[in-house]
Structure 1
């Protein structure tokens, strides 16, 4: 009963410590009288550690022989000491008797509560003597020291690579066994790490938490932001040894070098096309089998590149990260901003080799070339009329369906084309741009001037011959 009601009947006359059993007091007195000259009679043959009682040595020896006689009846986990089993059982029954008086958080062990208290008082008693970093657990300091002494005790049994932490080795082993336990619930993609899955999910929800403080562009990877920042400070640490060209990212120079060396070891077995990267041939294969791994959850459109899906999501969420510094207009794509800037700079890099006309876009030049070649690929399905541009066919179709989208606000007359409305408005404001050189008659459209001139020639053909 003494052990239950915690009665302390046996008291040490030297230090005042009380015990509930005389045998415990007897063992304790050996410390004061130096009966064994600093050593206890029961000694461990492996470590040399001494104990004052045989009952204490026996549980200790279990550590060396690997015996775990105390089994948990719930999860069948084994322990070498009954006290550890007792503590473990609190996990199953939810018992947390040790509560923090500050934040009221509870723990199943007093030692964990003691360590937890260091968070509130800011005390981290275990400090690294090399870098000064502090820890609230001695085990954390011990593991941290491996960073300084280069100790990597956890070795991969397949490739021999060593790691500081067992958790890192566990993740590394998934490279060899192909294990990907973390699966995306949206597209089904599997990842080897939970952190990779978390980052992957940003593609679907459009989350880009890493923002550039200079241009405002956002990224879903911190490493992408770091690489992007090099474009602002013009940092290009990776230099080509052949042509001397510099790059801001290591992957860019790797791709560049493959082009320089014409090194394309990855060949497609279907079409024979070669690639410098294994990832690129993997993406290329999807074109043959019609596989699109990255699907938009809003409109259902599929893409074979995750970056394409990410860019596509801007259409739905309205993100326009590329803005014009002159007029402030925003764009989804950097290429669209580049084309827009030509409006301000007047740059027209695409020139017609026949008439010399310059265009700001390659697509505009392609359309222009049809005027020389007489190509009209867009044909009306009703009357058979052909047009050189799809926009012209669209305008032509309004004749058939009776659509007159452009209405005069003065007289209410409607037109198929905006240019016709523009010409019509000149009647109301008295603007006549085209003038006859003979009669001083004015017209609001050039084709009306041509009709007038032809009529004049028909009326007086001799005057036309004299003038010519």
Structure 2
């Protein structure tokens, strides 16, 4: 039976194999050459490290997480993920990095260098990973798949955002009102309701908007584009939300309910306007006399008292009126219609004001009690 001292350990076998491989590599004119791939090195240590790319040997082990590396320099770089050390500093903005490669990539944000070019559309990128991601717009590749609903995405970030529709996670919180959001861009858009910032400008009329979608919808008021059509009445709308609100006029649905009086509305804007009857808010102010109104339409009607504008004209006698209601009342003088009826004596009137004045005659006729 052989003694234990004669038994060759696994480390001994590995060392001997590496030594044999080095011997086979040979030495020519002080140059060390790898027999596997013919790459040459000036120092034996560099050849030794290189050979591990062929053998797969990883002798350097991280004490923190047990991850192993083939080269000592790779272990040293990895250790910075545990220590937080960032020895590479940008001279332009003082930002620091743990890896030299990350600093080099960052420097392109200052120099504008974009060395990676798309062969399909010639678009250029500062990072190879950005080019790789961009190429999926040409190939249609969607490597990231949702385990819940099997929907696929070209970007890992898009998959992560999508997963929140299943988990309900809302990691982004507004510091002003504590409202939470599942996406950072939604939080940024929301913050503009507090700051009043309107970054998106219409080139046609210089009007500003908080979101790109609002600007896009507004631009359709200039182009007249109406892509969304009601199947019930063929009326067309600029946005899907406007079509959706319109459809409720056919179904009778009123999903927006006032918490104060339980009155319901088919459109959110109508509920918002109605709420001012409870809050007393009058956001629309006349620049001429400072009178304030709860609705924009009321302000527009009022402005006609200053401008003298009378856009509503009677087809029968050409008389003009500043308000539509005035024209409608006037038209009754031509039709003879008397829609307002006294409940006491059944007498009828063409104007509501005439009925109200008439009702006073009945109040004076009633004897006093007691």
TM over 0.5: yes
> How far apart, in 2, do the equivalents of 1:138 and 1:247 lie?
43
Q: How does 1:343-362 map to 2 (within 5 A)?
A: 343-345=308-310, 346-350=321-325, 351-352=328-329
Question: Which consecutive unaligned segments of at least 5 residues does structure 2 have?
Answer: 1-20, 40-48, 264-269, 311-320, 335-350, 362-370
The root-mean-square deviation of aligned C-alpha atoms, in Å, is: 4.8
- Structure 1 counterpart of 2:109: 119
With normalisation by structure 2, the TM-score equals: 0.61
How far has the Cα of 1:169 moved from its partner? 0.9
> Does the CA-based 8 Å contact 1:27-1:52 persist in structure 2?
no
How far has the Cα of 1:130 moved from its partner? 0.8
**Cα distance change on mapping 1:336 and 1:353 into 2, 3 Å:** closer
> Does the CA-based 8 Å contact 1:179-1:192 persist in structure 2?
yes
**Cα distance change on mapping 1:140 and 1:156 into 2, 3 Å:** same
Residue 309 of structure 2 aligns to a residue in which SS?
A: helix
- Say yes or no: does 1:134 pair with 2:124: yes
Q: How does 1:148-159 map to 2 (within 5 A)?
A: 148-159=138-149
> How far apart, in 2, do the equivalents of 1:304 and 1:54 lie?
69
> How far apart, in 1, do the equivalents of 2:287 and 2:202 lie?
14
> What do residues 44-95 of structure 1 show as CA deviations (whole Å, max 9, x unaligned)?
xxxxxx96248962139x9xxxxxx5354xxxx6644365553344356553
> Does the CA-based 8 Å contact 1:128-1:141 persist in structure 2?
yes
With normalisation by structure 1, the TM-score equals: 0.50
> How far apart, in 1, do the equivalents of 2:36 and 2:301 lie?
91
How far has the Cα of 1:162 moved from its partner? 0.6
- Say yes or no: does 1:334 pair with 2:319: no
Number of residue pairs aligned between Structure 1 and Structure 2: 291
> Does the CA-based 8 Å contact 1:100-1:113 persist in structure 2?
yes
Residue 58 of structure 1 aligns to a residue in which SS?
A: coil
Q: How does 1:21-170 map to 2 (within 5 A)?
A: 29=27, 36=35, 38=37, 52-53=51-52, 57-59=56-58, 70=62, 72=64, 79-81=67-69, 83-84=73-74, 86-90=76-80, 93=83, 95-170=85-160
- Structure 2 counterpart of 1:435: none
Question: Which consecutive unaligned segments of at least 5 residues does structure 1 have?
Answer: 1-22, 41-49, 63-68, 265-273, 276-280, 291-302, 358-364, 376-468
> Does the CA-based 8 Å contact 2:34-2:51 persist in structure 1?
no
Residue 134 of structure 2 aligns to a residue in which SS?
A: helix
How far has the Cα of 1:146 moved from its partner? 1.1
**Cα distance change on mapping 1:85 and 1:241 into 2, 3 Å:** same
- Structure 1 counterpart of 2:184: 194
Q: How does 1:408-419 map to 2 (within 5 A)?
A: none
> How far apart, in 1, do the equivalents of 2:220 and 2:138 lie?
31
> How far apart, in 2, do the equivalents of 1:306 and 1:152 lie?
45
Task: Select 1:284's aligned residue among 251, 257, 260.
Answer: 257
**Cα distance change on mapping 1:162 and 1:288 into 2, 3 Å:** farther
